[in-house]
A = this chain, B = another copy of it.
Amino acid sequence: MVNLTDVNAAFERICATTGVHQTAVMTCASLDVLAGASLFFKCEHLQKTGSFKARGALNAVRSLDQQTAANGVATHSSGNHGAALAWAAASRHIPAFVVVPNNAPLAKKHNIALHGAEIIECEPTLQAREATLGEVVRRTGANYIPPYDDDRVIAGQGTATLELLAQTGHLDSIVTPVGGGGLLAGSILAAGAGIRIFGAEPAMADDAFRSLATGIRVTAHTPRTIADGLQTTLGERNFAIIKTRSAGILLVSEDEIRAAMTLLWSRLKQLVEPSSAVTLAAVLRYPEHFAGQRVGLVLTGGNMTLPALGV
């Protein structure tokens, strides 16, 4: 199973040389007062391609040997992983093919095209995604790089937390969103045993919560949340890691996500996407886990269709 050694190797592969950005860590006095804790926001919305997904994608692309890489890479993605893979492939001068559900946010599709990938649209169902991806891989010979259920991707995402800890020093807790579980699993591997790692999940997309509660991974669900990046189902490898060592999954409502996003926009002045707001929503909703602590929160992405300019 993927472990800390893999996260460290990913760090050497994508962070120590020219690759992903070392993103800033922000703090905000007024949010600290609100939370009753010291919050450290890891700004992965300022990462290459606008999300932490650049880490896992670049680690996977750089892990391919020369001959295998030549055929290019392919994936299915509702947005951020697709853009990240397109960027990572372009940086190695190999082609990328991205299967995108036709209801994905326009800004995310645009971000994929911007980095030069070929976009193939499909119906927004898991079956349609898999069928379309299978066809693309057969046609092109490209290597499938899964969005989260993949050791290289999990190790790559873990570098965000490795970096956060190097920047802040000791943290008592870290909260990351959980969709497919790549970032949460990677963060668990990256953090030492003394740090509690929580997943934050929309109550309207609670498959990780239910999987942990029952011990059986939920494989089919119908999420309905504004956090469009968190509609995916927890991966198998991800679940194996999360069920052993996560401190728990914290559910938040749609209203709580919206309120937290408004705070991140108005106080931090950071234009993060809804999926990024679930962590602050969880910290504010469950003060019993965080009061008086040093808490890391990963702001995962900033790719969204812009609201109408209210001016």
Contacts and interface: CB of A to CB of B under 8 A. Distances in A.
Contact of A302 (B269, B304, B308, B309): B269
Interface stretch (A5-13, A91-99, A238-246, A260-268): A260-268
A310 B306 contact: yes
Interface stretch (A71-79, A142-150, A167-175, A270-278): A270-278
A308 B310 CA distance: 7
Given A50-B269, A271-B270, A307 B310 contact: yes
B305 A310 contact: yes
Nearest to A258: B309
Interface string A82-122: 00000000000000000000000001000000000000000
Among A302, A307, A309, A311, max chain B CB count under 10 A is at A311
Interface in A282-311: 302, 304-311
A46 interface: yes
A288 B305 CA distance: 32
B308 A262 contact: no
A247 interface: no
A304 B311 contact: yes
A55 interface: no
Contacts of A50: 269
B309 A309 contact: no
Nearest to A265: B271
Contact of A306 (B46, B107, B262): B262
Contacts of A304: 310-311
Contact of A311 (B226, B302, B308): B226
Contact of A265 (B226, B262, B306): B306
A174 B24 CA distance: 24
Contacts of A258: 309, 311
Nearest to A301: B269
Contact of A274 (B107, B261, B311): B311
A45 interface: yes
6 contacts: A258-B311, A269-B270, A269-B271, A269-B302, A270-B270, A270-B271
Given A258-B311, A261-B309, A307-B308, 9 more contacts: A24-B24, A45-B269, A226-B311, A228-B311, A258-B309, A304-B310, A306-B310, A307-B307, A307-B309
